Amino acid sequence: MEEMNYLQGLAAGLKTLGVGLKTTMREFFTKKITEQYPENRKELQMFDRFRGSLVMPHNEHNEHKCIACGLCMTNCPNGSITVTSQMVETEDGKKKKVLDKYIYDQGICMYCEVCVRVCPQNAITFDQSFENAVFDRQKLVKQLNHEGSKCEERKPVARPAAAPAAKPAVVKEAGKPAKAEDAEPKPKTED
């Protein structure tokens, strides 16, 4: 009986060894896709969903879309974003909040992309830069809005007109028929 258990265990061990060797041999003969990183730096492309570092795109007039609402700063789980704003008076005499500084600390960012997702203006995004090694951590603290940049002037979106209110339904009391005059209110006439 013990010899039978020994032989069964030996057969099971050889079977699992064969499965492992089959996997090893299959991977041994597949084509290698190793990137020669420092040498192919110019043609290296990261995949589309790669999160490199946070950027605030500016157009050719040095304008950005940030309205300094602070949602990105509020939702950042570890406080890597600091938004400072100031109130300015426009030509109309109205007060408006404008972005003063947008500070991003890449050294403590966990690249979760929550800030990008909650931004109502799509003012920030992640680029595909991946070489962020520095000797001084202070170089990882960046101001994303350019010097002298301003918010894009956008026209207010016209809201659709509100639909007219529905007429109230006539409720019949038990045993009484509804009257036509109850259904529609009579217009008031001035004497």
Mean pLDDT value across the chain: 82
pLDDT in tens, 50-64: 998 999 999 888 889
**CB atoms near residue 109 (< 10 Å):** 21
* pLDDT (average), residues 134-146: 92
Domain boundaries, the chain: 54-151
Model pTM score: 0.61
Q: How is domain 54-151 classified at the architecture level of CATH?
A: 2-Layer Sandwich (3.30)
Q: What is the predicted pLDDT for the residue at 161?
A: 53
More confident residue, 41 or 76: 76
More confident residue, 144 or 177: 144
Q: What is the predicted pLDDT for the residue at 157?
A: 41
Q: Which of 1-15, 102-116, 129-143, 150-164 has the lowest mean pLDDT?
A: 150-164
pLDDT in tens, 90-111: 888 888 889 999 999 999 999 9
* pLDDT (average), residues 3-12: 89
* Distance in angstroms (rounded) separating the CA atoms of residues 114 and 73: 10
Please choose, from the candidates 53, 128, 115, the residue with its C-alpha nearest in 3D space to the C-alpha of residue 82.
115
Please choose, from the candidates 129, 153, 123, the residue with its C-alpha nearest in 3D space to the C-alpha of residue 57.
123
DSSP H stretches of helix in the chain: 2-28, 71-75, 114-118, 180-183
